[in-house]
Amino acid sequence: MRISPVGTISVHLSLTSIYIGFARSIVVVLDHGNVIDSIVNSLAIIVGHLPESMQVLGMYVFQNVMNVFITTGSGMAATTMPIMVPLSDLLGITRQTTVLTFQLGDGFSNMILPTSSALMGSLAVSGIPYQKWVRFFWPLLAAWFVLGAVFVVVAQIIGYH
């Protein structure tokens, strides 16, 4: 049985819609249960004593870790941004810097995670085994991760708007 490209696109869009729906339902449950405010307040208390550069680095690492569990960018934005934006407001981090941490956290890790459908599809089409890709790409990912950390710290220092 052969699936047409149009059928493949519609299946992918349907899965993406399901992911976004699940992510949104998590946010609705947290919001209506008055849990999201408690989470934000607890996080602000925990990291509020750290220097500003460490606070923004923590947000950056959090976004990278969340990308392992929530592979779709839209779903991750729907899930994490309702927590990260109020947290950044409480910590004095600009919203643009918060969006930058999200974008860098979502973009870099998609290039190595086996849960990334774009990566796995590209590797399958090119005939490159995943293990070979990881050995090749790991040093570049580490450099990108460090460079991204520098960018978010500089964005915090200059008050990026």
pLDDT, tens digit (0-9, with 9 covering 90-100), for 89-130: 999 999 999 999 999 988 888 888 888 888 888 999 999 999
**Per the structure, how many domains does the chain have?**
1
State the average pLDDT for the chain. Answer: 84
Is-contact 56 63, C-beta < 8 A?
A: no
In angstroms, the CA 101 to CA 63 distance is 7
Question: Which residue range(s) make up the domain with 35?
Answer: 5-158
Given this model, what pLDDT does residue 118 score?
A: 83
- Tell me phi and psi for residue 127, to 5 degrees: 75, 20
Is 0.95 surpassed by the pTM of this model? no
Given this model, what pLDDT does residue 131 score?
A: 95
Residues of the chain scoring pLDDT < 70: 1-16
Cβ partners under 8 Å of residue 113, min gap 6:
67, 68, 71, 119
